[in-house]
Copies of this chain bind each other. A is one copy, B any other.
Amino acid sequence: MFTKEYIFATKGEIDVLDVTEYVTSAVAESKLVSGVATVFTSEETCGLVIMEYEHSLMQDLKQVISKLVPRADGYSHNTIDDDAHSHLRSTLLGSSLSVPFVNGNLALGAWQQVLFLELGKRPSTRKILVQVIGE
């Protein structure tokens, strides 16, 4: 097993970062041949998804997220804070991903990347944990 944390800066919502290289790097450092990499973010207003990191698709992704969970919709939480939509978007998109690897290579397709979504309103320093289990 091998665990490593990666720290990076984000812009405010919605910022999408390709973090695939961190996952690839953790698998390489682990020296394990086959297994599963769990990618996890402990940030409650961020998310992790798998998608092709292509510019126009990122625009579409932001549009879909904004339609499914609008920025303002009479949220109760916004009587005590201002980021209910950030929490809700994070919950729907998810905070963890499991990506198998075989012969040292992630099982990701040629057009699949691991994407970190900054859903919080302000630029931040964020982190993900990559945990590699295998043999």
List A residues at the B interface (Cβ < 8 Å): 1, 3, 34-36, 38, 40, 42-44, 49-52, 54-57, 59-61, 63-64, 68-69, 73-77, 79-80, 84, 87-88, 90-100, 102, 107-109, 111-112, 129, 131, 133-135
Q: Is the pair A60, B42 in contact by a Cβ cutoff of 8 Å?
A: no
Q: How many copies of this chain sit in the oligomeric assembly?
A: 3
Q: Known: A50-B91, A60-B84, A88-B61. Is A42-B102 also a contact (CB below 8 A)?
A: no
User: A135 to chain B: closest CB distance in Å?
Assistant: 5
User: How many angstroms between the C-alpha atoms of A13 and B53 in the bound complex?
Assistant: 22
Question: Which of A40, A74, A108 has its CB near the most chain B CB atoms (within 10 A)?
Answer: A40
The 3 closest A-B pairs by CB, nearest first: A42-B109, A56-B76, A100-B131
